[in-house]
Structure 1
């Protein structure tokens, strides 16, 4: 591996001037301003919720924003993942030797709180770039070049990034998996016993109606780097586009589809987000009426009526459960969204939920056509 990732530093967004993403992250999801930089036509605001940091790059000056790359993409979205590495300069040289594009070669940034070195690498996943930063010589709250921002403590609904999901073109997962393995040290993480890493986990919708292929990747023995999930559509007949196909069409290609944010109390988090005006997806009523679903929810120690009211999904068995809820897209283009996730011993990604939701939506659509 050329540049083993040691920690996720932040996730960067690129948005046009005036788009209220930074405001929405604060008002609806409890993020608080951490540091800001305004220069050369850019306003860069870092926001934090515990160990989760989002960097909103707003504008589009003649140069590049610090610690990133302007993708000149017509659709706003999450376009950069920043990872801490041991030696950013050496990592950039090794990646270039592997044939990777390094549009921003190593840059040294210094201020009164210390120094950092970073380089930006293009990824094969659409408009997603990777920033490799070395900041052992920095003692500030974020990164050199940014002015710290004082703010009141937030509600802390979100503790850290659980996973990152990339929407990929069909049959592209093996290539992407090899790239992230060779360049950043990610390894295949089986989601089911005996899973073939070339095939991933197939979550079929049933009756030839398509489905999703999920391939999970993880940096071994390093829980400071979130799991990376590659999602692609399975061939089949569907009622319109599935969620991955929709993202590819509306985003203009592959990219970061959603970020899974871990919450220690999903009921408190969803109540807080909804109470603040955040928009959460409401599962079809049929999801909670599946045979055995009420018993499953009770076994996990929750009330079925409360989960249904909050739109929280639950998957798992044998004492290990996963709870999750999805937001509506953060952008008008209906692309990138957030997921709130709480784990009660489960390590997967709600494969049963994906299948059940797919089937219940299809059945609901069929009933609507019959009416």
Structure 2
């Protein structure tokens, strides 16, 4: 299993196509897959593919979604080896089948897909390609790259690292069981983050082949940022998507130059980093990281016999990209086979978002 694409439901697909092109250096795909009631644009960067849909008529499924939820992720599509088995497993465990399996041809590939209801307004499309080597990026007869309306920054985004789902208080165990039973995910890391003001509980779910990582959060206090998301989103949903890059410092400098708004990190954070055991960054590297306000985490005491260079995790987060404080992006670089999510960074992110909550007046 792997992530095939993520489908955003927005008010104006063309505006958001231009946003991804201008701010993140995505390329716009020329072939339209719109229908009479829905406009759909497609943008790509590396292995990352986003569908952006907006309603043309009130009968559009996107219009119905936007009546209930603010703009955001409506569907996460997974490529699977056997869609019939995947849908049968989902059905056996009580999942709601929204679209039965149907087959269509895209270029030279034959695609079978079905759709299931997930958590809140989220759905999952399950896709099987008869010719695995043919994907949306190389079906050239159907999809080609169009000239972009603005000159894009050169994007170094290569893949989706993980996708984060927020659920209501008391629903974490049920959501974990749902992904275990329906999609055969397995539990991995668990976090409990608590500050003086609020908290959250998180359980990371991973597909059997470890290519899909899905942390699930629930609020641990009534004023938690997770609860604020649930209130504004009017239910559970995707809080953020982490996009992987090979050179985060360079990428963020370009994104900032394009006008992308990112969460602030106080410089005192970097003074504290220097006090932690095991920091392998040179003073020059740390200065460049601090200038871009990037979070850093590593294992302070690696196990005996571990490689000399400790795995290092670099992360940074955008401000919410839509008008309401719901969905945002994370950018991540994993050095030396760094795994997991970095509990230190997780807490730093939580505190940074708390600062934004205080500015909005939703946290005292």
TM-score, normalised to structure 2, is 0.83
Aligned to 1:56: 52
Equivalent pair of 2:3/2:212 in contact (CA under 8 Å): yes
Structure 2 residue ranges without an equivalent (≥5)? 301-309, 359-364
RMSD: 3.1
Q: How far apart are residue 63 of structure 1 and its match?
A: 6.2
Aligned to 1:159: 158
Aligned to 2:216: 230
Q: How far apart are residue 17 of structure 1 and its match?
A: 3.0
Q: How far apart are residue 268 of structure 1 and its match?
A: 0.9
The alignment partner of 2:70 has SS state of coil
Q: How far apart are residue 330 of structure 1 and its match?
A: 1.5
Superposed, 1:77-92 pairs within 5 Å as 77-92=72-87
> In the superposition, relative to structure 1, how do residues 332 and 113 fare at CA in structure 2: closer, same or farther (>3 Å)?
same
Superposed, 1:162-311 pairs within 5 Å as 162-189=161-188, 191=189, 200-205=190-195, 209-220=197-208, 222-223=209-210, 225-235=211-221, 241-290=223-272, 292-293=273-274, 299-301=280-282, 303-311=285-293
Range with greater deviation from structure 2 (130-139 or 160-169): 130-139
Q: How far apart are residue 351 of structure 1 and its match?
A: 1.6
Q: Distance in 2 between matches of 1:324 and 1:91?
A: 33
Aligned to 2:109: 114
Q: Distance in 1 between matches of 2:278 and 2:6?
A: 33
Aligned to 2:70: 75
The alignment partner of 1:334 has SS state of coil
Equivalent pair of 1:214/1:230 in contact (CA under 8 Å): yes
The alignment partner of 2:94 has SS state of coil
Aligned to 1:347: 339
Equivalent pair of 1:85/1:134 in contact (CA under 8 Å): yes
Q: How far apart are residue 282 of structure 1 and its match?
A: 1.2
Select 1:320's aligned residue among 292, 311, 317. Answer: 311
Q: Distance in 1 between matches of 2:354 and 2:59?
A: 47
Equivalent pair of 1:201/1:213 in contact (CA under 8 Å): yes
> In the superposition, relative to structure 1, how do residues 165 and 295 fare at CA in structure 2: closer, same or farther (>3 Å)?
same
The alignment partner of 1:300 has SS state of coil
Equivalent pair of 2:90/2:181 in contact (CA under 8 Å): no
The alignment partner of 2:96 has SS state of coil
Q: Distance in 2 between matches of 1:162 and 1:137?
A: 25
The alignment partner of 2:97 has SS state of coil
Q: Distance in 2 between matches of 1:69 and 1:217?
A: 31
How many residue pairs match? The answer is 340
Range with greater deviation from structure 2 (32-41 or 357-366): 357-366
Aligned to 2:325: 334
The alignment partner of 1:81 has SS state of strand
> In the superposition, relative to structure 1, how do residues 71 and 88 fare at CA in structure 2: closer, same or farther (>3 Å)?
farther
Q: Distance in 1 between matches of 2:53 and 2:165?
A: 20
Q: How far apart are residue 307 of structure 1 and its match?
A: 2.0
Aligned to 1:27: 22
Q: Distance in 2 between matches of 1:309 and 1:351?
A: 22
Q: Distance in 2 between matches of 1:187 and 1:57?
A: 31
Structure 1 residue ranges without an equivalent (≥5)? 1-5, 192-199, 367-371
Q: Distance in 1 between matches of 2:184 and 2:63?
A: 23
